[in-house]
Amino acid sequence: MAVKKSELYSSLWKSCDQLRGGMDASQYKDYVLVLLFVKYVSDKYAGRDDSVIVVPEGGSFQDMVALKGNPHIGEGMDLVISALARANELTTIIDVASFNDPEKLGTGKAKVERLTALVGIFEEPGLDFSRNRADGDDILGDAYEYLMQHFATESGKSKGQFYTPSEVSRVMAKVIGIEHATKSTQTVYDPTCGSGSLLLKAADEAPVELSIYGQEMDNATYALARMNMILHGYLTAEVQKGNTLADPKYLNEAGGLKTHDWGGLVKQERIG
């Protein structure tokens, strides 16, 4: 049975409740979304030899479960995340926030209880992501955007700082004629991709699987984009960090952005 969206949303918001008091709401994402990522890839890819995501020994969600109640749980969770990051070239992407930070998560018994409860929420039987893509349903991707909305609202920041609303993304995809794409060598590119939601929704509107490219300047948002691609199943999507105006990563021989316009759909090809 697939994960119910309502149950997923409720459980994820419970995890945010565990973090209240020690940090600004805009920082919840640094912890909750990393746990969401670890749980998802562990459920989907642990023990699979043919997976493009490697879940190493000591780097799975079950290793976090084993730490519940341990006085060194914060340090241990950091080590689990670090192992997963190293195995998948995600260092500085998923291992930036520390679960051993006393200022944000407390100290002593209070920290142990908080982190134990946090892990326990994701451990609930109803949150089994190994079967969540029945009939193409992207429950986890929807949950990601659901949480992004709440993070933006509670921190007093615009939602657009984190992601482009799905309705806007779909309209933009249709305006550029993405429905005319015919082959996987065609690409969709966003030079200021944020958390990647516009790229993902645009690619979803195409009748064929497109190659995804993006660039994002802010380090935290760039990390979200990288995780978002994997959470949505776009494992080969390429997102690079940098200021597109000062340091564009996708150039043609003349030093300009390599773009082509055909059938209304903007295409970009990377050289090299």
- The DSSP code for 215 is E
> In the chain, which residues fall in CATH 1.20.1260.30?
5-159
> In the chain, which residues fall in CATH 3.40.50.150?
163-268
Q: Please, what is the Cα angle at 40 between 163 and 67, to 5 degrees?
A: 120
Question: Which numeric CATH code is attached to 163-268?
Answer: 3.40.50.150
Return the structure tokens found at 119: 């892990």
Percent of the chain with pLDDT over 70: 82
**Partners of 260 in beta bridges:** 267
Kindly report, residue by residue over 133-153, the tens digit of the pLDDT.
Answer: 544 456 666 666 777 777 655
pLDDT at 271: 42
243 conformational bin, left if phi > 0, alpha if psi -120 to 50, beta if neither: beta
More confident call, 25 vs 96? 96
pLDDT at 56: 96
Q: What is the average pLDDT value for the chain, to the nearest integer? A: 83
Report how far apart the first and last C-alpha atoms of the chain are (Å, whole number).
Answer: 44
Task: Tell whether the model's pLDDT for residue 45 goes beyond 70.
Answer: yes
The three-state DSSP-derived secondary structure of 176-236 is CCHHHCCCCCCEEEECCCCCCHHHHHHHHHCCCCCEEEEEECCHHHHHHHHHHHHHCCCCC
Kindly report, residue by residue over 189-246, the tens digit of the pLDDT.
Answer: 999 988 888 898 888 888 888 889 999 998 878 888 898 888 888 888 999 999 999 9
pLDDT at 184: 81
Kindly report, residue by residue over 226-240, the tens digit of the pLDDT.
Answer: 988 888 888 889 999
- Mean per-residue pLDDT for 168-174? 85
Which CATH class for the 5-159 domain?
mainly alpha
Distance of CA 11 to the CA centre of its chain: 17
Return the structure tokens found at 11: 């459980």
pLDDT at 117: 96
pLDDT at 90: 93
